[in-house]
Amino acid sequence: MAEAAMSGLRAINVSKSFSGLQALLKVSLTVPVGTIWGLIGPNGSGKTTLLNVISGVLPCDKGEIWLGDTNITGLRSDRIARLGIARTFQTIRLFTHLTVAENVEAGVMAVETGGIDDRVTALLDRFDLTQWRSTQAGALPYGIQRRLEIARALGTRPKILLLDEPAAGLNETESEELLAMIHDVRDDAEYGCGMLIIDHDLRLIMRLCDQIHVLNEGRTIAEGAPQDVRQHPAVIEAYLGHQEQSLL
Amino acid sequence: MSNWSRRRLAVSGRTWLVLSLLLLLAGGGVWLWDDANLIRIATNFFLLCTLVVSLQVFVGNSGIVSFGHVAFFGVGAYTAALLTIPPNVKERALPMLPAILMNLETGLVTATLGGALVAFLVALLTGLALARMQEQAMAMATLALLVMMHAIFSNWETVTRGTIGLYGIPRGINLWVALSGIIIIIGLALLFKASPTGLHLQASREQPLAAQTIGINLVRVRLIGWLVSGALMGSAGALWAQNILAFGPDQFYFVETFTVLSMLVIGGLGSVSGAVVGAAVVTGVSEMLRDLEGGFTLGPLSIPELPGLVQLAVAVLIMIILIYRPEGLLGQREVGGKR
Ligand SMILES: Nc1ncnc2c1ncn2[C@@H]1O[C@H](COP(=O)(O)OP(=O)(O)OP(=O)(O)O)[C@@H](O)[C@H]1O
Ligand SMILES: [Mg+2]
């Protein structure tokens, strides 16, 4: 476990503000390879901002981010991606005019040095995308688009995968499929990695994750196993103001 | 080359074969028909295609409009002219030319590769700055490039003879040379499109942010696309110069930029085949209207001269296409290529 933590992701005292608005304040988080972490919190609590800072999409003001024993603070996002952090987006960002195969291929080509076609075929197969192979990504049903975005990210063979509301917009069945898929990925011999998942569907998060990190107004208010976090007073209080997301 | 996809290469190869065959049929047909005017039109069409296809390499894959590529075309044309004009003509036209250039007299292939090389160097110089810019800023900067190069062409009298322009270029081009040129350039454009850098440039066109988060270096892929496209444009200019034989700086400016971009838009930005189709449509429309431009009689009606008719028609055509087929006639599709 200690070894897994060393090869995983560590954010240390990360702060980020947008002209006065403190989006993140001294947030620390460790995601070991092979574990699934949930990141929850009310709207605007800084979840996406944390993902943006980790993936290099936004620079952080203070703090450090490490991947294994590499300090990746302040690196360009494409460097961070090649070092082993992949992500998806809250609003899907596929290469809409490219085919499903090309979307995956673009990720594979960015990191691999051979056997591209076999890798792409295997990935499409692994994620049940083969039948869509030549379809333009923008024309896919929503649920398939979400799955393709994850497959594209995994094409870069990440050590850490960051998922921003992967179940948003999916129906019950699609969510269940996604949940099963994410579990499979963690234990997969080839694509196994550590994952940090944001979602508003708390039932899904509780079932999916090994550990949960809770943000409120940019600060960590709780961290731990799902059953502990669920009963944490600060978490209940933060969520009481947001009735539509009651903790059950 | 290890991260190339054989599948992509095979698909591109098929497109190349089909396009080459179609152009070969067109060229062969015209040659058999043996009509001097038709041969002239076909030769000009092939040369025009080299331009549009070269422009497609950058604009189509990156999704960033370049108003500056005609400058590379000019650089290629001037380079080829300086390499091929016989020394005795140069002594009269360009008495101040440095001795090395004065005594040079190369053949078609060297002149064409020379045009590509010098255009590549200009692209490198400008691209290092441009590729770092945001999309819109980059498009504006390409416009600045066009104006800047036009100023150089018009004022560097020692080498370009200023606004008067150059003459005396030996004819290196015939129908078959032009056809070979376009077939080679289409091959290179398709090869680039199939390459990892080509795919990454297309990905950055669709979603720059997501492209970066799967490991794509935006500056790098944009710079490479710019260089390849600029060099090809230079070779297109060199070929063109060896067909037109005399030209001046005003042939590399706004009207030409508009014409080439319009062909690309009409055919479909995202497709090499589209570039060829766009060139074909505009050539067809222009040739049909050119006769009308000089005035004609329609029954009892006598229509006087209509200068500007061709440009007007092309402009209207663009608007119609943009309304009904915003992605151009072919969109992202390539002939003969199932993706
Ligand atoms: N690029 C940005 N520029 C300015 N402000 C931003 C930016 N990104 C986020 N913010 C602000 O930072 C705060 C945190 O936003 P963030 O998107 O991280 O929240 P979130 O937890 O992901 O919320 P949601 O659940 O709605 O997705 C919000 O107040 C938001 O308006
Ligand atoms: Mg968010």
Cβ pair A97:B209 closer than 8 A: no
Q: What is the pLDDT of residue B339?
A: 55
Q: How confident is the model at residue B286 (pLDDT cuts 50, 70, 90)?
A: confident
Mean pLDDT value across chain B: 93
pLDDT at B211 over 60: yes
Closest chain B residue to the Cα of A155, Cα to Cα: B214
Stretch among A15-29, A205-219, B292-306 having the lowest mean pLDDT: B292-306
Per-residue pLDDT tens digits for B317-336: 989 998 999 999 998 899 98
Per-residue pLDDT tens digits for B132-150: 999 999 999 999 999 999 9
B76 neighbors B234 (Cβ within 8 angstroms): yes
Stated length of chain B: 339
pLDDT at A1 over 50: no
% of residues, chain A, pLDDT over 90: 71
A-B CB pairs within 8 A amount to 98
pLDDT at A248 over 70: no
Of the partner residues A55, A106, A117, the one whose CB lies closest to the CB of residue B200: A106
Residue to mutate, A40, A47, A89, A220, ligand 1, most ligand atoms under 8 Å from C-beta:
A47
B78 neighbors B166 (Cβ within 8 angstroms): yes
Q: Whose C-alpha lies nearest to ligand 1, atom 2?
A: A18
Residue to mutate, A19, A24, A27, A45, ligand 1, most ligand atoms under 8 Å from C-beta:
A45
Q: Whose C-alpha lies nearest to ligand 1, atom 18?
A: A46
pLDDT at A242 over 80: no
Stretch among A4-13, A230-239, B268-277, B298-307 having the lowest mean pLDDT: B298-307
Q: Kindly indicate whether the ipTM for this predicted assembly is greater than 0.90, answering yes or no.
A: yes
Q: What is the pLDDT of residue A53?
A: 97
Q: What is the pLDDT of residue A235?
A: 84
Q: What is the pLDDT of residue B338?
A: 64
Cβ pair A117:B5 closer than 8 A: yes
Helix H or strand E encompassing B303: strand B301-303
Stretch among A147-151, A242-246, B73-77 having the lowest mean pLDDT: A242-246
Does the structural domain A33-52+75-247 have CATH classification 3.40.50.2300?
Answer: no
A164 neighbors A57 (Cβ within 8 angstroms): no
This prediction's pTM: 0.93
Rounded to 5, what percent of chain A is helix, strand, coil?
A: 40, 25, 35
Hey, where are the domains in chain B? 6-249
Of the partner residues A93, A117, A152, the one whose CB lies closest to the CB of residue B209: A93
Q: CB within 5 A of ion ligand 2: which residues?
A: A 48, 90
Per-residue pLDDT tens digits for B176-210: 999 999 999 999 999 999 999 999 999 999 999 99
Hey, where are the domains in chain A? 33-52+75-247
Q: How confident is the model at residue B1 (pLDDT cuts 50, 70, 90)?
A: confident
% of residues, chain B, pLDDT over 70: 99
Cβ pair B216:A93 closer than 8 A: no
Per-residue pLDDT tens digits for A69-123: 999 999 999 999 999 999 999 999 999 999 999 999 999 999 988 899 999 999 9
**Set of chain B residues whose Cβ sits within 8 Å of the Cβ of A160:** none
First-to-last CA distance in chain A?
32
Q: Which residue has the higher pLDDT, B298 or A241?
A: B298
% of residues, chain B, pLDDT over 90: 82
Helices marked H in chain A? 2-7, 47-54, 77-83, 100-111, 116-126, 142-154, 172-187, 202-208, 226-231, 233-240
Ligand 1: residues within 6 Å at CB? A 18, 21, 23, 41, 43-49, 90
Contacts of A69 (CB under 8 A, 6+ apart): A6
